[in-house]
Structure 1
Amino acid sequence: MKQITLAIAFLMALTTSVLAQDYGKGFDAYQAGDYATALQEWRPLAEQGDAQAQSNLGAMYGFGKGVLQDDAEAVKWYRMAAEQGNASAQFNLGFFMYYTGNGFLQDYEEAAKWYRKAADQGHAKAQYNLALMYENGEGVLKDDAEAAKWYRKAADQGLAQAQFNLGVMYGNGKGVLQDDAEAVKWYRMAAEQGYAKAQFNLGNMYANGEGVLKDNIMAHMWYNIGSANGNDLGGKNRDKRAKEMTSEDISKATALARECMSSNYQKCGY
């Protein structure tokens, strides 16, 4: 009996190893843009019930990578993976299918359901999207405190959009006690990831002395950086701020902005 048990364990380990190798081949092929090989490796695994391979097939059909784009087929594979607890598939089923209505009638309640399943497993984008639904009252009752809770979970994982939105919640006192210093903290985290809206808002905080000491040089710096990253209001506010600054201070702010960006946001400020 012991020999039979050991034999079964060995076969299971061998099978798992082979499956992992096949999945790895598919992954390497996909990364190299060889979608036909990725599909060849992943489809048998998906048909055997491998949740990650099923999720990947869903993405391939959803985006038309190596196959004709087919929302219904994408939904089929996402659902198989999602029902096995695959967080990425749960998120994709919620977002691409139910929230946006690709391959299904738009259904915010169903989207929120799948976001929550993924969010409960720590999927940062699902946490962020669930927060948005609570903030906007889509598929769930509007609840700013619940929105702030889910933004924080995603923000703590480093998601810049969530950090920015949590900063806005603190700045406006929505779902949390109003706290400019806390708003600055979260804006800064997002800004240092290159998030232009956060860079603009951080410029505002320095310009108005909210949560930080008023500082035209730092305001100009962050407005300038936000503008460089595509925020049009950043450029307008930078130019307004410059009218209240000496040419020396403008030069200093410009040099600080250049250093901040060239250091990949590691050296931002005095």
Structure 2
Amino acid sequence: MIKSFKVVALGLSLLLANVCVSHAQDFQKGFAAYEKEDYATVLKEWRPLADRGDAEAQFYLGLMYKNGQGVTQDYKEAVRLYGLAAVQGDADAQISLGEMYNSGQGVTQDKKETVRLYRLAAEQGIAQAQKNLGAMYINGQGVTQDSKEAIKWYRLAAEQGNADAQYNLGWMYYIGLGIIQDNVYAYMWYNIAASGGDANAVNERDVIAKKMTRSQLEKAQDLASECVKKNYRGC
């Protein structure tokens, strides 16, 4: 009896393994087609996966409906698909659905729901969501305005190399919002963001440099170099 049970259990395990492999192969076929903009093949591969509850397929189908890629643009359908993936913990879907609620595309605009969704993804450590959540706090949208909380989320995103968050930290140090005003640290973060490709940071860095002494500039540049070496942590 025990031996029979083990045989059945082994059979089920092998069956599930084969299903998972087939599932992954179908998704990869769809992704390869997506990159080639072969949307007919994408829909053929991903729609059945989405119908079976695959969060990644649901997210990408939602993206296609939002952008009108291979389908008629439909914000409501995008919201529906994003929602299915978001409740399964898919961070990309949580961010995208949050953006839909933020702009009111396909759904009634709801800043509080935007914050809730951004927070779900931010707490998974996603830099884009952390930066977005920081922006909601700095602007007091969907939450009580809180500059210190904004700094917290911007810093978490900045530590992952998010140039927008690094720029925003520089700005907050520059004007002294939620933190003691400090041109040295403002320059440091602007310089780091500029190195990450933020054109606005280049301009702001150069403006603030004119207000700094030579020793302040040298210190800011040294701090920026040290920060990069530490992978932006503890800066």
TM over 0.5: yes
Cα separation, 2, equivalents of 1:230 and 1:70:
32
Instruction: Check 1:236–1:14 CA distance in 2 against 1; reply closer, same or farther (3 A cut).
Output: closer
Deviation at 1:181, TM superposition (A): 0.5
Cα separation, 2, equivalents of 1:7 and 1:261:
55
Residue in 2 aligned with 1:35?
none
SS class of match (1:55): helix
Deviation at 1:2, TM superposition (A): 7.4
Deviations 1:235-270 (A, max 9, x none): 1111211222110011000000011112211242xx
Task: Show structure 1 runs of 5+ residues with no match.
Answer: 24-44
Q: Is the 8 A contact 1:54 1:80 kept in 2?
A: no
Residue in 2 aligned with 1:60?
32
Residue in 1 aligned with 2:51?
83
Residue in 2 aligned with 1:193?
160
Cα separation, 1, equivalents of 2:138 and 2:192:
21
| RMSD between aligned residues | 1.9
Instruction: Check 1:14–1:129 CA distance in 2 against 1; reply closer, same or farther (3 A cut).
Output: closer
Deviation at 1:75, TM superposition (A): 1.1
Deviation at 1:232, TM superposition (A): 1.3
Instruction: Check 1:247–1:111 CA distance in 2 against 1; reply closer, same or farther (3 A cut).
Output: same
Task: Give the 5 Å matches for 1:1-270.
Answer: 6-17=6-17, 19=18, 23=21, 45=22, 50=23, 52-64=24-36, 69-95=37-63, 97-268=64-235
- Aligned residue type for 1:8: V
Deviation at 1:7, TM superposition (A): 4.0
Instruction: Check 1:255–1:15 CA distance in 2 against 1; reply closer, same or farther (3 A cut).
Output: same
Instruction: Check 1:6–1:139 CA distance in 2 against 1; reply closer, same or farther (3 A cut).
Output: same
Deviations 1:184-221 (A, max 9, x none): 11111111111111111110100111111111110010
Instruction: Check 1:196–1:10 CA distance in 2 against 1; reply closer, same or farther (3 A cut).
Output: closer
- Aligned residue type for 1:195: N
Q: Using CA pairs below 8 Å that are at least 6 residues apart, which structure has the higher relative contact order?
A: 2
Q: Is the 8 A contact 1:259 1:267 kept in 2?
A: no
Cα separation, 2, equivalents of 1:7 and 1:187:
54
Instruction: Check 1:2–1:151 CA distance in 2 against 1; reply closer, same or farther (3 A cut).
Output: same
Higher alpha-carbon deviation: 108-117 or 52-61:
52-61
Deviation at 1:13, TM superposition (A): 2.8
TM-score (ref. length: structure 2): 0.93
Identity across matched positions, percent: 46
- Aligned residue type for 1:233: N
SS class of match (1:157): coil
Cα separation, 2, equivalents of 1:155 and 1:9:
39
